[in-house]
Structure 1
Amino acid sequence: MQPINKEAVQKRLESFFQKTVYIHLETTNGAYASHFNEQVINVGAFIRNAAVNVKQGKITGKGPFRVGLELDHGWVYAEGLTDWEFDGQGRLLMAGHNRDGQLAVALQISERPFA
């Protein structure tokens, strides 16, 4: 992965517009949480291979970035994205890493289901 290039990511996002695609979205602070306050809870979310039709989408921010996708019946967004790649399988892979390089958020888009 490489640091996000906002214009390049936007161009790749647009290639998924008006198509049914598969989304992988996860967030975590779980194993990476570096707090010792028992009143703070670890949180996370995970969804994989949700088939959605992307009407439009946009990357915003100055880094870390936010990507929002408008769907037929709602929205999906991920915030805190720092890195990306468009792999040889036609998948847009985006991730947000903390200052120690650990994964905090991932948003991936593909025209085929993820393995």
Structure 2
Amino acid sequence: MKPILIEEVQDILETFENKELYFHLETTSGAYAAQNKEKLAVGAYIRNGSLQFTNVKIAGSGPFRVGFKLKEGWMYAEGLTDYQLDDGRLLMAGHDDSGRLAIAVQLSYTPFD
């Protein structure tokens, strides 16, 4: 993965506009927070959801946030630090200072395994 370059990732995201996509969205504080009784462990996981967005914007100065304008609302992810594009699939992820995964967003034209 590479650190997010906002202009480069914005250009990639725009290639997915107005297309039928599969998405993966995952967040976690998971075991990292569970070890600390003062923190609440939280997480969310969606795999192979269907998505079509008409507009997309990545913003921030790092970590970054990305918003997807849907037909009837918005999808939003925050805390993104890195990305990679492989075989037409975009992976954006957010890692903490220790390199642990906190958030992942993937877009693909085909379902994920």
Classify the TM-score, shorter chain.
over 0.9
**3-state DSSP of counterpart to 2:56:** strand
Match of 2:26 in 1: 26
Higher share of residues assigned helix: 2
Inter-partner Cα distance in structure 2 for 1:82 and 1:32 = 18
* Distance (Å, rounded) in 2 between the aligned partners of 1:56 and 1:69: 6
Runs of 4+ with >4 A deviation: none
Note the residue ranges of structure 1 that are not aligned, 5 or more in a row: none
Matches within 5 A, 1:96-107: 96-107=94-105
Cα distance in 2, alignment partners of residues 113 and 22 from structure 1 = 6
For the aligned residue pairs, the C-alpha RMSD in angstroms reads 1.3
Tell me which amino acid in the other structure corresponds to 2:48: N
The aligned amino acid for 2:55 is Q
Q: TM-score, normalised by structure 1?
A: 0.93
**1:69 correspondence with 2:84:** no
For residues 91 and 65 of structure 2, the distance between their equivalents in structure 1, rounded to whole angstroms, comes to: 14
Q: CA deviation at 1:36?
A: 2.5
CA offset digits 1:36-93 (Å, max 9, x no partner): 325x321000001111111110100000000111111221111000000111x10110
In structure 1, the residue matched to 2:81 is: 82
The answer on whether the counterparts of 2:33 and 2:40 sit within 8 Å (CA) in structure 1 is: no
Question: Could you say which residue in structure 2 is the equivalent of 1:109?
Answer: 107
Extract unaligned runs of 5+ from structure 2.
Answer: none
Which secondary structure does the structure 2 equivalent of 1:19 belong to?
A: coil
Counterpart position of 2:58: 59
- The answer for the alignment partner of 2:6 in structure 1 is 6
**Which residue of structure 1 lines up, in the alignment, with residue 43 of structure 2?**
44
